[in-house]
Structure 1
Amino acid sequence: MSMVSLLASLVMIGAGCMAVSAIVVTLRAQLPAVYRLLADSRAIARDREFLVQITAVSAPAAPRITALVLPAAAPRRGPVRLVRQGPATTGPGRPLRAAA
Structure 2
Amino acid sequence: MGAAKSFAAQTMPLKILKEQIRELEDQEILHVETAFRHSYGIEPFLSPDTVLRNLAANITKISGSTHDLAAFEDIKNLKAWLKTFRLAPPASVFDEMMPF
TM-score above 0.5, yes or no: no
Q: Whose strand fraction is larger, Structure 1's or Structure 2's? A: 1
Question: Which structure: greater helix fraction?
Answer: 2
In the superposition, the TM-score normalised over structure 2's length comes to 0.41
TM-score by length of 1: 0.41
